[in-house]
Chains A and B, each alone.
Chain A
């Protein structure tokens, strides 16, 4: 039961952290609850489909279909996150000002960007398909299905609870820094996902590792620990990264930063006529 709880918790945690960051980043936008909800629902549906076709995906492309698929899902999410971070660096300022003016609670007119809907769906799909495969196995295994099911439920709730904790923690960030913080979180999330995608492409032998282990900090913070895993999702921490993963991380982070500087620079406010 404990093993099932832990496994489900780990998978749910990763998806929950992504959803949390998206929820925070879309604060103040109209109808974002329904928006994020549809993303989660689409992701769950996708997870079921992926789990059903897992065999076919795995066997595609001379046996590396699973790696290519995972890398593709991650890179798609990276693109969406990058686009959003750049868009937000421009609009966040006005949004924050607007929310301050109306007291923060009232939704402004703008719609949440669909890029983030896709990010939620992709994150839930990726982590969810593993949980679904695991749960399929429970039925087949026959051993103590009930206790495993209870364990899974506990894991699910615990994962959601951590996500909620992070969300309410983020809400305490003062409004004028709020979107700067969420934008940085999105940037780091994207960079970490890009590094993970590179890992899958190395595993598929599509990319060279450029050094299999650039550093080893597993004795300080191991990604096997829950803290390490949380860091891995939030900022892309890896205790034993390949060189190409570090490269992907840096290129993604710098590209988003440059994009934010170029397209996101605040336009000079129009002066009020005297």
Chain B
């Protein structure tokens, strides 16, 4: 019984490590806006966001809900790993242009 519990615990802890490669999604930043502004992703899976900044100025991709913040330089591309997420809405924004740069990841 104890061994089974240990094995289960190990399986739970190791699961994210052994999980398949994260699914990739692309987001572009253009004219200080995210495209798409709403991104649907599968819940319960690791997600790799590839964020391409097409503007001439830097942006900071930030999300309190996803606990992520990363600067993306002008004409640069970054990757941000998120998840596995529970189903729900996870807003994100561009800290340098918060008026227009707003988006949301929807996990379902």
Cβ-defined contact, A208 with B16, below 8 A = yes
Q: Which residues of chain B in 31-50 are interfacial with respect to chain A, using CB atoms and an 8 Å cutoff?
A: none
Cβ-defined contact, B96 with A137, below 8 A = yes
Residues on the A chain within 8 Å of B95, using CB: 7
User: Which of B57, B58, B65, B81 interacts with A54 by CB under 8 Å?
Assistant: B58
Residues on the A chain within 8 Å of B80, using CB: 203
Name A51's closest neighbour in chain B (CB-CB).
B58
Check: A67 CB closer than 8 A to any chain B CB: yes
Contact bitstring A18-60, B, C-beta under 8 A = 1, else 0 = 0000000000000000000000000000000000001100100
Check: B24 CB closer than 8 A to any chain A CB: no
Check: A72 CB closer than 8 A to any chain B CB: no
Count the A residues whose beta carbon is within 8 Å of the partner chain — how many?
32
On whether A137 and B78 interact (CB within 8 A), knowing A54-B58, A208-B16, the answer reads no
Residues on the A chain within 8 Å of B69, using CB: 203
In the assembled complex, the Cα of A19 lies from the Cα of B40 at a distance in Å of 43
Cβ-defined contact, A212 with B67, below 8 A = yes
> Which B residues fall within an 8 A CB radius of A?
13, 16-17, 55-60, 64-65, 67-74, 76, 78-81, 95-99
List 5 extra interface pairs beyond A137-B58, A239-B64, CB under 8 A. Answer: A3-B99, A133-B60, A137-B96, A203-B68, A240-B65
